[in-house]
Chains A and B, each alone.
Chain A
Amino acid sequence: MPLAYNCTREISSQVSAAQSILPKVLGITLALAAGGAVLSYVVINIILQGSLQQLFQSIKKLQIVVHMSLVNVSMPGNASIFFSYLLQIVAFDVIPTDNAYDAVFGFEESQPVSTNF
């Protein structure tokens, strides 16, 4: 390593351990509820041969809200924690596919668009 090598990065908003409990609990609860609702909605509509239009519309709205952290404004740390749980649902990241993508496509990792995200 070169002598006196310097590296820098922006720090996202910080929270103490105590302050992180509430957003964590809320985020996990909402993520589980949303995941359960999506799954049950899909199953019921497949059985009843209904449309998934309403489900996709609601997820689209949720995606806009969660991706608000891409806007370059300061976001409190507890809000980031809360959104990080919802992001797994709205991004359909229930099944982790990152490793599979790397193996198949060989993408090079780039810097994030926003430190909040």
Chain B
Amino acid sequence: MTVEFPDYPGLALSREFAVVVSVKEVLHNGELGYWNDSYGANSKIQDQLINLGCGAEWKWEVPYTLNDGLEEHTVSISTVRRGLAYKFLYYEASTHEFLVRAGKVNQEQNGNYKVEFVLEDSQLGELKYNIFFAVNCTVAGNFTSKFVGVEMVPILHQADPPLPLIKSVSQFGVVLVEFTKTMLPGNVTNVTNGTVWINETEYPALGVQVLSSDLDLTPQEALEFTWECLNFTKDYMIIQLYFKTPNEVSITVPLDTIHLTFWD
């Protein structure tokens, strides 16, 4: 039995907190087990409001069943996001059980947080569960946590991840990005304005740069622009560039270039 924690940064925005839970089940005969996909309806945490004071604990039974003949199984968790909630929420896991522990909340940490657990089979599973909690720190030292929802989504196998490819850039600044494999559709607002924390550094969810090919003829200031994500589906993403002076773009050969950096 092995437990793997895939590198899965940037699931949430700057004030969010994410935990990845990854389980591989090994049967007696060497075959791999699978998750029970009836989780959503029978969850014991459905619509549960959790009140936690400082030092309190909250347990959650891992809601899945295993095949007969299972040799052993382990559930473990690993934090992948160090947001503000990281300072006062502690997570532990053992077989069949999550443990959420509340620490001391400082005054400046008051606010609303979104906590996301990702529960996935690291090998043969076809679904993973994104479990969302809204955490509201009302006064220093206390907060409430409410289960928001759960969704089952296809697993993106990290061994062969989808890659973005800039398909075209129109004369009107419309950038079409296609994915080599299906992606999890995202919120366009999060793509445009979202940030991610990686190694204590904040990055934009999507970095967009337009670089001049000849700084003598086209200084970088002439390529000033803003952008927004117009659409983000499982197959493609559309980004609209708004150049301040579109006539200055790509006036020489080689042409100016656009660089997209996917931090999330």
A80 near B7: Cβ-Cβ < 8 Å: no
Cβ of A108 under 8 Å from chain B: no
User: Beyond A14-B172, A80-B171, A81-B171, is A7–B165 a contact (Cβ under 8 Å)?
Assistant: yes
Nearest chain-B residue to A71 (Cβ)?
B253
A8 near B257: Cβ-Cβ < 8 Å: yes
Cβ of B9 under 8 Å from chain A: yes
In this complex, the member of A3, A74, A81 whose beta carbon has the largest number of chain B beta carbons within 10 angstroms is: A3
On chain A, the residues within 8 Å of B246 by CB distance are 14-16, 19, 77
Cβ of B39 under 8 Å from chain A: no
On chain B, the residues within 8 Å of A8 by CB distance are 166, 257-260
Nearest chain-B residue to A79 (Cβ)?
B171
B247 near A14: Cβ-Cβ < 8 Å: yes
> Which residue in A1, A9, A14, A73 is a CB contact (below 8 Å) of B171?
A14
Cβ of A100 under 8 Å from chain B: no
On chain B, the residues within 8 Å of A10 by CB distance are 169, 250, 254-258
A72 to B252, CA, bound (A): 10
Interface residues of B in 156-171 (CB under 8 A from A): 156, 161-166, 169-171
Cβ of B251 under 8 Å from chain A: yes
Chain A residues touching B, range: 20 to 34
- Taking the closest CB of chain B, its distance from the CB of A37, in whole angstroms, is 27
Count contacts on B: residues with CB < 8 A to the other chain. Answer: 38
Cβ of B210 under 8 Å from chain A: yes
Cβ of B23 under 8 Å from chain A: no
A1 near B164: Cβ-Cβ < 8 Å: yes
Interface 1/0 per residue, A1-29 and B, CB below 8 Å: 11111111111111111011000000000
> Which residue in A3, A4, A15 is a CB contact (below 8 Å) of B172?
A15
Cβ of B105 under 8 Å from chain A: no
A4 near B250: Cβ-Cβ < 8 Å: no
A17 to B183, CA, bound (A): 32
> Which residue in B161, B172, B251 is a CB contact (below 8 Å) of A1?
B161
Cβ of B191 under 8 Å from chain A: no
User: Beyond A15-B246, A17-B172, is A1–B183 a contact (Cβ under 8 Å)?
Assistant: yes
On chain B, the residues within 8 Å of A20 by CB distance are 171-172
Cβ of B198 under 8 Å from chain A: yes
On chain B, the residues within 8 Å of A74 by CB distance are 250-253, 255
A73 to B252, CA, bound (A): 8
On chain B, the residues within 8 Å of A16 by CB distance are 246-247
Q: List 18 A-B pairs, Cβ < 8 Å.
A: A1-B262, A3-B10, A4-B262, A4-B263, A5-B261, A5-B262, A6-B261, A7-B163, A7-B259, A8-B260, A10-B258, A14-B247, A15-B247, A16-B247, A73-B253, A74-B250, A74-B253, A78-B171
| B contact set with A: CB distance below 8 Å | 7, 9-10, 156, 161-166, 169-173, 177, 183, 198, 203, 210, 243, 246-247, 249-263
Contacts A1-B262, A8-B257, A10-B258 known; list 9 others, CB within 8 Å: A1-B183, A3-B10, A7-B262, A8-B260, A10-B255, A11-B258, A13-B250, A14-B246, A73-B253
Nearest first, the 8 closest Cβ-Cβ pairs linking A and B are A14-B246, A9-B166, A10-B255, A77-B171, A14-B249, A5-B262, A13-B250, A11-B169
